[in-house]
Structure 1
Amino acid sequence: MKNKQIPASHRDSYWLRLVATAAAFSLFGLGGLVLRFILFPPLKFLYRDKEQRKRKARLLIHNAFRAFIGFMRLTGIYTYNFQGEKQLRRPGQLVVANHPSLIDVVFLISRIPNANCIVKASLFRNPFMRGAVTTADYIPNDDPERIIDMAAKSLRRGESLVLFPEGTRSVPGRPLIFQRGAAYIALRAEIKPTLITIRCNPPMLMKNIPWYSIPLSRPHFQFSFNDSEELLQPCNMSESPLAARDITKRLKKHFTEGCAA
């Protein structure tokens, strides 16, 4: 509804951005097929070691996502500012973020060379994404206890893990709803999360909104880096439902205030 109030003079290149968005999503699907059928198969022969093959696959995805993000910016679909990009390159981080847009995970993985993430189990059957999520050894969201255990082991191996406590994209104007999985993973891995607050104004690629329903004015993504040391201190870091609830409450408060800023 807010888009209808924007004067025509402010509707910067709407039709060009719409065409560019269509081209970007077409390229994304094509890129998934290229990764699966052209770039990933040779990895099995070049790298017999599973861990090495996994890292190379993740690096390919990292570079592909970086190119995709760059294409969308170059074609004027959006602008963005990324604070704390250098900090995200440190290994073994639990990167926790809010989830306003469909491409949040693409943004974050494009900044983290060896990123692990939790993905929908259905993606392991998706023809565009199956090759990527399987070769990169991402974590399927099919069993909560298994997720926590696999995520903690991934972090102990020095891999960074991208996680959205909401579990799905947030809806503008509605309160954030956080699950406790991020807290349990932090507790089991004995690690304090790295917090990334994502803001997009005007909103783009929201939940239940088709990709072609783009805002009339060009969106701007803002990624803000925060260390959780102060947020979670003092805090009971023993793995228990009470500790998980306390951490989740603090995370929700942090992101709610950050998104409103």
Structure 2
Amino acid sequence: MEHESNALMTEPLALPSSRRALHETVRLHLGYLALGLISLVVTLLAFPMRALMPRVLSKRLGRKLVTAATRRYLRFLVLIGAARFDLSELDALRDEAPMVIAPNHPSLLDAVMVLSRLSGAGCIMKAELVNSVFYGAGARLAGYTRNTPLRTMVQLAVDDLHQGSHLLLFPEGTRTTRFPVGTLQGTTGLIAKSAGVPVQTVFIETSSGFLGKGWPLLRAPKMPITYRVRLGKRFDPPQHTARFVSELEQYFQTELAHAQLPGFPVSPPA
């Protein structure tokens, strides 16, 4: 996705405000339309794959399918001028040993960005997403884990890590409500401790509050939106969950307070 990284260096031409607003509204709806069509294709493929293939094979192919779909979606957003992405640092994790990948969570696009680069990764998802008509078939095919009930979630996540997968888990548990990062939950430390794997921190920086907590879905942002993902410190498997979570939260607060991307929101979107 070299063109996406290079796009960060290209500034859009200035347009009159009314014309720019129209363009942004059109791009917003094109983005939603593309997401719907891609999700439909994944759903139509997921049902027969899960029904006809052995579970181990369908899960592996399901994750590759999600990566292919999310990568094409992000390319489309770049093509229409809606967004620019620099996700190249995630590539360094592809061949690494199992670990928990722990990013901050400023927007609904965060999981899409990470999964677009890591085809073998599992993911902790809200139960309503795994059960939904829109995303559920693909999520179940890929073997993503529901976030409830807690004990089952932890056991399934540990099993996935022991099978050699990475695990995408947002330590805040939801999109950020208090910038630069909200209160972290203990789940990250609990899973990493139980599985005996490290925790790789990831920082997602953006020039807009688009699709953050409280952002109306039909409110068009100023485009193109810039997203940059960078790798942070990798923590050893924790010994004490509560102490680890406190240390992790302090680390996120410190790093995101000095974010590299100009315009990174430091307060919830108005």
Measured after TM superposition, the shift of residue 148 of structure 1 is 1.3
The residue that corresponds to 1:223 in the other structure is 229
The residue that corresponds to 1:206 in the other structure is 212
Which of 21, 28, 35 is the matching residue for 1:28?
35
Contact kept? 2:207, 2:227, Cα under 8 Å: yes
Contact kept? 2:108, 2:211, Cα under 8 Å: yes
SS in 2 for 1:212: coil
**Residue pairs, 1:1-261, within 5 angstroms:** 13-37=20-44, 39-44=45-50, 47=53, 49-91=54-96, 92-171=98-177, 173=179, 176-216=182-222, 218-229=224-235, 237-238=238-239, 243-261=240-258
What whole-Å deviation, never above 9, does each CA across 1:72-100 have from its counterpart, x for those lacking one? 12211121222422222125231100000
Residues in 1 aligned to 2:83 and 2:196: alpha-carbon distance in whole angstroms: 37
Measured after TM superposition, the shift of residue 35 of structure 1 is 1.5
Residues in 1 aligned to 2:87 and 2:28: alpha-carbon distance in whole angstroms: 21
104-113 vs 18-27, which moves further: 18-27
Measured after TM superposition, the shift of residue 101 of structure 1 is 0.6
Residues in 2 aligned to 1:64 and 1:83: alpha-carbon distance in whole angstroms: 18
Paired AA for residue 68 in structure 2: N
Residues in 1 aligned to 2:210 and 2:164: alpha-carbon distance in whole angstroms: 33
Residues in 2 aligned to 1:32 and 1:216: alpha-carbon distance in whole angstroms: 25
214-223 vs 197-206, which moves further: 214-223
Measured after TM superposition, the shift of residue 28 of structure 1 is 1.2
Which runs of 4 or more aligned residues in structure 1 lie more than 3 Å from their structure 2 counterparts after TM superposition? 8-14, 172-175
Residues in 2 aligned to 1:217 and 1:35: alpha-carbon distance in whole angstroms: 27
Paired AA for residue 20 in structure 1: R
Measured after TM superposition, the shift of residue 45 of structure 1 is 6.3
216-225 vs 192-201, which moves further: 216-225
Measured after TM superposition, the shift of residue 65 of structure 1 is 0.4
What whole-Å deviation, never above 9, does each CA across 1:55-82 have from its counterpart, x for those lacking one? 1011111100000111112211121222
Measured after TM superposition, the shift of residue 207 of structure 1 is 0.7
Paired AA for residue 167 in structure 1: G
Paired AA for residue 256 in structure 2: C
Paired AA for residue 58 in structure 1: R
Residues in 2 aligned to 1:198 and 1:66: alpha-carbon distance in whole angstroms: 17
TM-score norm. by structure 1 comes to: 0.85
Residues in 2 aligned to 1:108 and 1:198: alpha-carbon distance in whole angstroms: 10
Contact kept? 2:105, 2:172, Cα under 8 Å: yes
Paired AA for residue 29 in structure 1: G
Paired AA for residue 21 in structure 1: L
Contact kept? 2:47, 2:137, Cα under 8 Å: no
What whole-Å deviation, never above 9, does each CA across 1:15-63 have from its counterpart, x for those lacking one? 32321121111221222222112x223424663x210111101111110
Contact kept? 1:83, 1:225, Cα under 8 Å: no
Structure 1 residue runs without a partner (length 5+): 1-7
Paired AA for residue 153 in structure 2: I
Residues in 1 aligned to 2:15 and 2:137: alpha-carbon distance in whole angstroms: 44
18-27 vs 111-120, which moves further: 18-27
Contact kept? 1:166, 1:179, Cα under 8 Å: yes
Change (3 A) 1:56 1:175: closer
> Aligned pair count?
243
The residue that corresponds to 1:5 in the other structure is none
RMSD of aligned residue pairs (Cα, Å): 2.2
Paired AA for residue 192 in structure 1: P
Contact kept? 1:17, 1:75, Cα under 8 Å: no
TM-score norm. by structure 2 comes to: 0.83
Paired AA for residue 168 in structure 1: T
